[in-house]
Amino acid sequence: MKILFTTTEVVPFCKTGGLGDVCGSLPQELARQGHEPVVILPAFRQALNSGRPIEPTGIRFEIPIGRKLMAGTLLRSSLPGDQVPVYLVHQPHYYDRPELYRENGHDYKDNCERFVFFCRAALDAIKLLNLGTELVHCHDWTSGLVPAYLKTELAGVPPYDSIRSLLTIHNIAYQGNFWHWDMELTGIDWKYFNWRQMEFFGNLSFLKSGIAFADVLTTVSPRYAQEIQSSPLGCGLEGILQHRRNELSGIINGVDYHEWNPETDPHLTAYGGLNYGVHNFAEGKRECKSALQREMSLPQDPASPLIAMVGRLADQKGFDLVAQLIPTWVAQSPAQWVILGTGEQQYHELFARLAQQHPTKVAVRLGFSNELAHRIEAGADMFLMPSRYEPCGLNQLYSLKYGTVPIVHATGGLADTITNLTEHTRLIGTANGFSFDTYNATALADALERACRAYDDRPLWEQLIRTGMQQDWSWNHSAREYTRLYQRTLTCAENLVCG
């Protein structure tokens, strides 16, 4: 199959979150399985400075934006390994900026115009490059107008009349909503600006447009696909998602085990750790824990459980719950904490203060380091993810591979991937972590206490580690699910029976 990925984030070109990981890994796996994926993204400054070889194609085009024409060109590159072509929509007025979507805490005021241009340019590229695209896989709101153009302006126009579309919602909280007069910028007939299609509480919504017009919808976990069909996690779009529930499914994101594998991870040995697998994890994790404690200036105590958190320090990630209980835990529990990330100032101040007051129990790095994130996954005993909501989550999957037992709030992809330890799951050997259902500090404290008790039972703890390390959350599995969905979408279109 010939599949075009339209996205604004692709590792190693640019990323702000998990979207970039997905669009950098899934096309590679699809290519390994015999498909012909192509990726197109804006030529952001970050992408042009990524270090990947980029060359001009010589192709120039013009896009109508309201009553004006904006010119652009196409650049050519590829994903690492050179199996997957990557095209970049070059328009410096729109994309040569310090950040992708916002700067100094504020969205760029012309975001509607910037991504109207991208969606139309991506569709023009299909014809200009003679891609022979059968299906466009659109990602998040920034590509939301692609399915709308296919079903409105380009309906019945070759080669677009045979192209089908799939929209993946990575996080429904980001919707691309703009004032209603921006509808003029799209060039789409005003008749589609209605409550069933492009209008959202009086505004133009890119994401709702994509949901309304795409042939098939996915999210990044089965649980999240259910959660967004009701309030509050539907963020106002639960009605249209309920209406399209027969076309909506969830597929868990995969993990790139070339990048995240303790057996080959080069970051582990750099500070005195050890590469390890399921056959020697006891020795490997002991050495990596000792190395991490040394690197973070914590006492090298093998008996104290080491709890890690990596990511954005924000309420959505559950740091409001952590803030309620960590001062007491630090004072009363022998557990050590390692926290890596940046986010809201109140959490910067809280964790910096705790690290100063309890230097033998709390180590904090307010920033981000990919190398340190790898060493934390290997050296920690437990990985805490108490997210208020989590469409998929990747760190819990990294943790399973590295033998670091996850403790999670049972929401979205966390609920789909982490099996809570109970008497039943212990007996049948399916438990791989700990979870709590009610989003409050009491339930989180209970999950932490259960994990710390289990940590002292070495046979049980090693059973949890072994179960997690043996599970396969690679992109191989996820890509096969997407392939089946692509095939059903195209077959459905040929037979003219959808739903």
Asked whether residue 97 carries a pLDDT value surpassing 80, the answer given is yes
Residues in the chain: 499
What are the residue boundaries of the structural domains of the chain, listed by start?
A: 2-254+477-495, 266-472
The reported pLDDT for the residue numbered 18 is 84
CB atoms within 10 A of CB 66: 15
Q: How far is CA 254 from the centre of its chain?
A: 10
Residues 52 and 48: their CA atoms lie apart, in Å, by: 8
Q: Which pTM was predicted? A: 0.92
pLDDT digits (tens, 9 = 90+) for 120-162: 999 999 999 999 999 999 999 999 999 999 999 999 999 999 9
pLDDT digits (tens, 9 = 90+) for 425-442: 999 999 999 999 999 999
Q: Which two tokens stand for residue 208?
A: 């709702």
For residues 450 and 434, the answer to whether their CB atoms sit within 8 Å is yes
Phi, psi (degrees; rounded to nearest 5) at 100: -80, -50
For residues 60 and 72, the answer to whether their CB atoms sit within 8 Å is yes
pLDDT digits (tens, 9 = 90+) for 471-492: 999 999 999 999 999 999 998 7
Average pLDDT over residues 92-106: 94
For residues 137 and 6, the answer to whether their CB atoms sit within 8 Å is yes
CB atoms within 10 A of CB 398: 26
Task: Measure Cα distances from 28 to 123, 250, 253 in Å.
Answer: 22, 20, 14
pLDDT digits (tens, 9 = 90+) for 335-352: 999 999 998 999 999 999
Q: Is 405 exposed, middle or buried (0-12, 13-18, 19+ CB in 10 A)?
A: buried
Average pLDDT value over all residues in the chain: 95
pLDDT digits (tens, 9 = 90+) for 323-337: 999 999 998 999 999
Confidence of residue 370 (pLDDT cuts 50, 70, 90): confident
Same fold, 2-254+477-495 and 266-472: yes
Asked whether residue 497 carries a pLDDT value surpassing 50, the answer given is no
Q: Which pairs from 467-472 meet CB under 8 Å and 24+ separation?
A: 467/429, 467/430, 467/431, 467/432, 468/399, 468/400, 468/401, 468/403, 468/405, 468/406, 468/432, 468/433, 469/277, 469/278, 469/281, 469/400, 469/401, 469/402, 469/403, 470/278, 471/400, 471/432
The reported pLDDT for the residue numbered 498 is 45
Q: Which residues contact 411 (CB under 8 A, 6 or more apart)?
A: 223, 227, 387, 388, 389, 390, 439
Q: Which helix or strand (DSSP H or E) is residue 33 part of?
A: none
CATH number of the structural domain 2-254+477-495: 3.40.50.2000
For residues 407 and 433, the answer to whether their CB atoms sit within 8 Å is yes
The reported pLDDT for the residue numbered 368 is 85
Asked whether residue 223 carries a pLDDT value surpassing 50, the answer given is yes
Question: Could you name the CATH architecture of 266-472?
Answer: 3-Layer(aba) Sandwich (3.40)
Residues 239 and 236: their CA atoms lie apart, in Å, by: 7
